[in-house]
Each structure stands twice: as structure tokens, then as C-alpha cells.
Amino acid sequence: MMMIFKQWLLIVAMLVAIVVLLKLLDKRLVKLLDADRYPQMLQWIRLILYSACMLAILALILNVLNVSSESVRFFIGSVMALLGVALFAEWSLLSNLSAGLMLMFTAPVSVGDNIKVLDKDIPLQGRIRSIGLIYTRLISVTGDDYLLPNRMLLQSRLQKISGKPVIEVSLKSVESVVKTLHS
């Protein structure tokens, strides 16, 4: 009876330690990443971090409870095989995911930039509203909202117009402003 109590006490102590470690890592992660610029990236990194911690907790609990490592390896192998088949079926999703990570880390364009897609099939121009792991949201000059797959953005030629909005001003409007200022 005392042995079971010690096992559960050890499990609770490990859980508390991991939760404290997670909180510290989360605070550090928010400081390291520009959370306002890439909120989706922060969200995905948190998900990966929490998932890794949950797997570590599960492994510790199974170890403390003396579950056979052979049966755990068999279960993990089965899950990995299913995951591999599912991800192979979704290669397009994986290519968009890797393109999204490349866009976030290499930053050829960033949120707020005005870009023009120099592709005859997709003649778009607008401001980047957000860059996610799979899609990038673009608001066109006409106000339309587009979700572009990151792979398409990475493979297309892009013209970065500026990081500021483009405002076209005619010469007549400039002259009227000058006249108003001088009067």
C-alpha cells in the first residue's frame, strides 16, 4: 500500500514540475517570438511544446507504474504507422506547412506588406493581413479577402510594393492642397 502511495506521490511531483517548467518556457517563448507579428506560429509552437510534455508525462507515468516497455513500443509504432499513412495522403498539406514555416522564418514578406503576385494565372495585389502555417490572408486593393496557400506564395514571383499602404494621388489633388495651404 505504501509503495502505491509513493508511486502516485512521485507522479504528482513530476506533474507539478512539468507544469512549472511549461509556464517558464511559455513566458520565454513569448519574449523570443514576436507574438503580435506571428500569432499562429506561436500557437503551433505551443501546441508542439505541450504535446511533447504530455508525451513525457505519459512516459513517466508508465515508467512509474512499471508498464512493459515492449507493449508501449508496439503501441507507439502502430500510431506512427497510421500517422505516416495519413500524412502521406496529405502531401499538399505538408508542402503548405513547410512553405508557411519558410515564409515565417525567412520573412521575404511580412504582415502589413503590400505585394503584387506576378503570376499570369493569379494577378493579385494587396496587403498581407496574416501569415499562418497553411495559408496567408491577403486583402486585395478592392477589399476582397483571399486565403492563398503558402506553397503558391513561395513558388510565385512576388513584387513587394512597400511595407506601407500605397495611396495614389493625382497632380490636381496635390495642387488643390497646396492652394488651400497658401490661402
Give the pLDDT score at 163: 57
SS (H, E, C) the chain: CHHHHHHHHHHHHHHHHHHHHHHHHHHHHHHHCCCCCCHHHHHHHHHHHHHHHHHHHHHHHHHHCCCCHHHHHHHHHHHHHHHHHHHHHCHHHHHHHHHHHHHHHHCCCCCCCEEEECCCCCCCEEEEEEECCCEEEEEECCCCEEEEEHHHHHHCCEEEEECCCCCCCCHHHHHHHHHHHHC
Asked if 41 and 25 count as a contact pair (C-beta separation under 8 A), the reply is no
How large is the average pLDDT for residues 63-72?
A: 78
Give the pLDDT score at 1: 64
- Which pTM value belongs to this model? 0.48
Residue 120 or 164, more confident: 120
Q: What percent of the chain has pLDDT over 90?
A: 5
For residue 52, pLDDT beyond 60: yes
Residue 88 or 140, more confident: 140
For residue 143, pLDDT beyond 70: yes
